[in-house]
Amino acid sequence: MLTALTQAVIFTGKEEIKGKALLLDNGVVKGWSEEGNIPSDFHIIQQNGRYIAPGLLDLQIYGGGGQLFSDDPSPSALMNIADALVKTGITGFLPTLATNEMSVFEKAIDTVRDHPHPAVPGLHLEGPFINPVKRGAHILSCIKKPSTDEVKALLDRAQGAIKMMTIAPEMCSLEVIELLLANGVILSAGHSNATFTEAAEGFKRGIQTATHLFNAMSPFHHRDTGLPGAVYQSAAFASIIPDGIHVDYEALSVSKKVMGERLFLITDAVEPSTGAYPHVFKGDRYTLPDGTLSGSAVRLLQGVENCVKHAGINLAEALRMASTYPARVIGHPERGLITPGQPAYLTIFDGQFQPHGTYIKGEFFKA
């Protein structure tokens, strides 16, 4: 079908376009046209002043629609979670599991491997190879130091389904890091008590990013700037949770000024659960029953809004933090841009940051 999306402000990931229609040819971006010069064979869909942006990508989210993936890592649960998240404006996400029994990881790996979904580029394992000192809400008894044999077995089972792993660099040998990288796993430093030197060495060895900057990591101190300092001084990316609870908006603003295009947004969002991670909803966040902060309640589009309203980041750049930059992290930069010749990955939302629909690989999904 030939489709023209009109009366919208279009953010391409590189520029802002007004007064033009976005043309799609069977779900592939064809280009732009003056709104008064749209070819007659195009079906016109008026957007009434809405915004069109590259599809939002959440590289760390634990569930959706009331389901936590680790509670039920089944194909039906993954489909239900994906359906719910797409309605929030997300076009791609990494279903994430915190430190857990290896059998839970294996079930999740099997599901993602054997039941591909266009919104799921792969799985994010946050643990178990982390530092117990900075475990946060993670299950202490399941944390371990990795052996090469154990990692190899996990990779052999995954067959590429593991897209990202959060590890503590000080807990992993060079051999383990090299094995994971050689198998295409994006490594993120997190739940780590690394000194600046240990963290900097991890980035030199090939760790590409860091998990939820400032949370569950060695602090930024003037005598040892720890993992945050190493992130600032490196070429690595870092994710950050834009809910104003996990990280103060001033810390978000400062980090943006320091890191520029290397800082991207995640939600770290969870769902209510009575399972191994008994997340309790507290109105604007989730905690464990003992009060330990265990996850956010923010949605990615809401995080974009928070960046604009509370951290002094303009809308175009906030959108890139939720689309263009995470797409670079996972090695699919085309998903973070609106580019002629590429399948449409689009998020459509209004001036109140409410989602109105998405295109995922050219297919439209109503919010």
CA distance 76 to 194: 39
Tokens 């299950």 belong to residue: 139
Structural domains in the chain, CATH included, are 2-53+337-366 (2.30.40.10), 56-333 (3.20.20.140)
Give the model confidence (pLDDT) of 94-138 as tens digits.
999 999 999 999 999 999 999 999 999 999 999 999 999 999 999
Sheet holding 280-281, edge to edge: 280-281, 285-287, 293-296
Give the model confidence (pLDDT) of 60-94 as tens digits.
999 999 999 999 999 999 999 999 999 999 999 99
Q: Which of 135, 126, 139 is nearest to 216 (CA)?
A: 135
CA distance 44 to 303: 31
Structure-derived torsion over alpha carbons of residues 193, 199, 205, 211, reported in degrees to the nearest 10: 70
Give the model confidence (pLDDT) of 263-272 as tens digits.
999 999 999 9
Annotated catalytic sites, by residue?
268
Here the tokens at position 253 are 């603003």
pLDDT score at 253? 98
3-state secondary structure of 91: strand
Categorize the per-residue pLDDT at 141 as very low, low, confident or very high, splitting at 50, 70 and 90. Answer: very high
Give the model confidence (pLDDT) of 28-45 as tens digits.
999 999 999 999 999 999
In sequence order, what are the residues at sequence separation of 6 or more whose Cβ sits closer than 8 angstroms to the Cβ of residue 210?
A: 188, 189, 190, 217, 227, 231, 236, 237, 238, 239
How distant, in Å, are the alpha carbons of 5, 91, 358 from that of 35? Answer: 9, 26, 21
Q: Average pLDDT over the chain, rounded to whole? A: 97
Tokens 């580019």 belong to residue: 339
pLDDT score at 187? 98
Q: Per-residue DSSP letters for 21-33?
A: EEEEETTEEEEEE
pLDDT score at 153? 97
Residues 11-16 have a mean pLDDT of: 98
Q: Which amino acid is at 78?
A: L
Give the model confidence (pLDDT) of 168-179 as tens digits.
999 999 999 999
For every residue of 215-246, which 3-state class applies, written as one string? Answer: CCECCCCCCCCHHHHHHHHCCCCEEECCCCCC
